A and B are shown apart, each in its own frame.
Chain A
């Protein structure tokens, strides 16, 4: 017992002050990419060819689909003009799929869920996570929000064991053919009204597994999505920021 108390004193208080204070991120952290089409040379498609997940389109104007991006730097290395660069901005969650297609420096961040939903779910959001073929990276960095440093429950958001206790689903992974049935059954078991969050490149577009015969290329092929959180995996700060936007704790 004494050693537990002693260790407790040494460990101290570790919960971060977010959202009042944002923890610092290291220099090499890759946040939201920014694209600047004015730098493009006519006919150049070096970035699009280098991109491993076909996230970049140069047919009309340069655009980058954040939902497909795995944050690998291949485009940055390929572009001689620096038309694509990573920023340090960890905020990336949006409400609609189209908002993830970047063609300039900015991004329209997610808004609070609608009034009707907010009245029912806004103050205590219970989520059931369904891992539908993820590599486990997205799940691990979601789980981190339950550790003492992040302490997700102080915001009234919790992960629950049963879909019957949940207000919505948080889906990770590209939705493998073999998980499709279980995902749909779990969704059906969540009482209405309900929301769905697609977390990570896989759940949004198939990510690294896009195009594989064994997957569905993301959850929005099967379910209506209320919040998209891009990344591979998204940093816990990105996930928390997205969740808090959805419940209106951050505007």
Chain B
């Protein structure tokens, strides 16, 4: 762990670091809020903010401010609760000045009954009772009566203003969520996205006595991001155990991560074609997505990469002959995919629907803390693989794909570029893996510690923070799926956009419901 050479009051961590909880600066509630907001002034980005039940019955709130240019995350905390002399569970809201905190603060209120004072729009995030039994700021929760969707939506009144409600069960084979549009004619004035239907208590199961269960749950936080979440989860556990993963295992994880990105990006580009009724693109890309999934199937016996990444390394090796097979298949797929994408991006009928649709500015992206391809489409260059290199990406870099227009077109182009770069990266590294084993046995965890792990999944930054107690048992894991940052981006992108473009905008973000709801 690096020394606190940083001119601030936070604990400075790099990706994959662990630290003693006693080294963490604990600030007074007002100072904590001021510290976070100061982080914004110093060019930071709110990577995570969450609470954890303290042993004395209070709640400790942790904030993680990421400095992409320096490759560090600064952490600090505040204790809330009677035992600390602060009386009630409250602190001055961060969201009021920094919208990037809005969902995190709603989560905090929902899980622990903490009130971020002055939060502009405090309401449930996932709909469940608080973990501590404390009342949430919006009053007690009646699990028998209240169902998600039962809350005051933001409403616009006036002549010719009408409301459109969609979900939770949608038209397609997709996950549930509720969308409430305030429309003026065809144009959307405001969209409120209400999730929580997928809440299944994932975080608690990550701390299961059966260690494999934790890894399996990590793989299913978002089913299409199995490798991404499993990698972040394992990195956090490995840091706590002081286990160094072999270079070969890092390479295999890196290969699987890029295959995951390829399959999802190709699938998304196909779905975008479908949403603008360009069926040739939809058909070919839909099939090609499967071809990439099948490469992962070759490596670990599952199309989504289940059971590949495990604490300590990987459960499967890639032999030279399998490498060879994978490389040949990739070499055959490369021209096919690029050909279809060239065709797609040369259709004026496609471009006409993509360009200028659902645009976000770089400033908006920064304000709400957008990550992943959606952020890179707005001109932000953040990418964990570059800013906080982990695993294989410490030794080998993939150039960051960027666009500036922030619209559906830009989000599609970023994926197109990433598809090209991931294939090149895979072809380069498939055959040249470091020698050695793929698995190092796990050891006991360092007690009273925390570890952070970030991974650039295909959707953007995932971050897992794991804590141990005095006995050295894992006692809390906090998960962040990139979706929690980005759902708000979709809502903003819809402003002033015709409601008929919603499917297209939605698909261009393609966010996870399960990853958000946990």
- Closest B residue to A162 by CB, please name it: B171
The answer on a CB contact under 8 Å between B212 and A72 is yes
Q: What 0/1 pattern do residues 323 to 347 of B give for CB contact below 8 A with A?
A: 0000000000000100110110011
Give the contacts of B294-324 with A (CB-CB under 8 A).
294, 297-304, 306-307, 315-316
**Chain B residue contacts of A22, Cβ below 8 A:** none
Q: How far is the CB of A165 from chain B (nearest CB, A)?
A: 11
| 8 A Cβ contacts from B348-401 to A | none
**B93 close to chain A: CB less than 8 A:** no
Residue of B nearest to A136 (CB): B223
Prevailing SS type, chain B contact patch: loop
Please tell me if the beta carbons of A29 and B200 are within 8 angstroms of each other in the complex. Answer: no
- Which one of A148, A182, A186, A209 has the greatest number of beta carbons of chain B within 10 Å? A182
Q: B31-39, B202-210, B236-244, B404-412: which one contacts chain A?
A: B202-210
Check if B280 sits within 8 Å of A4, measured CB to CB.
Answer: yes
Interface string of B147-188 (1 = CB under 8 A from A): 110000000000000000000110111111000000000000
Nearest A residue to B221 via CB reads A135
Known: A135-B514, A148-B283. A208 touches B336 (CB 8 A): no
Q: Across the interface, which residues of B come within 8 angstroms of A3, CB to CB?
A: 342-343, 346
Q: From A11, A139, A186, A213, give the contact of B169 (CB < 8 A).
A: A186
Interface flag for A168 (CB, 8 Å): no
Judging by beta carbons under 8 Å apart, are A178 and B197 in contact? yes
Chain B interfacial residues counted at CB < 8 A = 66
Q: What's the interface size class on A, roughly?
A: 35 or more
Query: Is A179 in the interface zone, CB < 8 Å from B?
Result: yes
Residue A133 lies at the interface, judged by CB distance under 8 Å to chain B:
yes
B217 within 8 A of A: yes
For window 120-150 of chain A, which residues contact chain B by CB distance below 8 Å? 128-144, 146-149
Kindly provide the distance from the CB of A153 to the nearest chain B CB, expressed in whole angstroms: 13
- Give the shortest distance, in Å, between A154 (CB) and chain B (any CB): 14
* Segment of A33-41, A169-177, A218-226 in the binding face: A169-177
Please, how many angstroms separate the alpha-carbon atoms of A134 and B198 in the complex? Answer: 7
B17 to chain A, nearest CB (A): 28
CB distance from A157 to the nearest CB of B (A): 13
Interface: B287 (CB within 8 A): yes
Residue of A nearest to B344 (CB): A7
**Chain A CB within 10 Å — which of B204, B208, B514 has the most?**
B514
Is residue B224 within 8 Å, beta carbon to beta carbon, of the partner chain? yes
CB pair A208 B217 closer than 8 Å: yes
Contacts of A26 in B (CB 8 A): 294, 297-298, 301
Is A215 interfacial (CB-CB < 8 Å)? yes
A128 to B226, CA, bound (A): 26
CA distance A29 to B217 in the complex (A): 21
A104 at the interface (CB under 8 A from B): no
B284 close to A136 (CB less than 8 A): no
Nearest B residue (CB) for A207: B220
Residues of A within 8 A of B176 (CB): 130-132, 179, 182
B128 at the interface (CB under 8 A from A): yes
Interface members, chain B 189-205 (any A CB < 8 Å): 196-202, 204-205
Which A residues are in CB contact (< 8 Å) with B210? 50-52
Contact B287–A149 (Cβ < 8 Å): yes
Q: How far is the CB of A2 from chain B (nearest CB, A)?
A: 10
Known: A131-B174, A212-B204, A233-B304. A138 touches B223 (CB 8 A): yes
Closest to A147 in B: B286
Query: In this assembly, does B216 line the interface, its C-beta being within 8 Å of a C-beta of chain A?
Result: yes
Contact A208 B216 (CB under 8 A): yes
How far apart are the CA atoms of A144 and B514 in the complex, in Å? 19
Enumerate chain B residues within 8 angstroms of A139, measured Cβ to Cβ.
173-175, 223
For residue A13, give the distance in angstroms from its CB to the closest CB of chain B. Answer: 11
Question: In the bound complex, do residue A173 and residue B298 qualify as a contact, i.e. CB atoms below 8 Å apart?
Answer: no
CB B487 to nearest CB in A, in angstroms, measures 15
Neighbouring A residues of B213 by C-beta, 8 Å: 52-53, 208
A176, B216: Cα distance in complex, Å:
18
Which of chain A's residues have a CB closer than 8 A to the CB of B172? 143, 159, 161
Given contacts A71-B307, A148-B287, contact A29 B301 (CB under 8 A): yes
Q: A133-B200, A214-B200 are in contact. Are A178 and B303 (CB under 8 A)?
A: no
Enumerate 7 A-B pairs (CB-CB under 8 Å) in ascending A order. Answer: A4-B343, A72-B306, A176-B200, A177-B143, A177-B199, A215-B200, A235-B303
| 10 nearest CB pairs, A to B | A137-B223, A135-B223, A161-B171, A28-B301, A52-B213, A135-B220, A214-B201, A212-B201, A147-B286, A136-B223
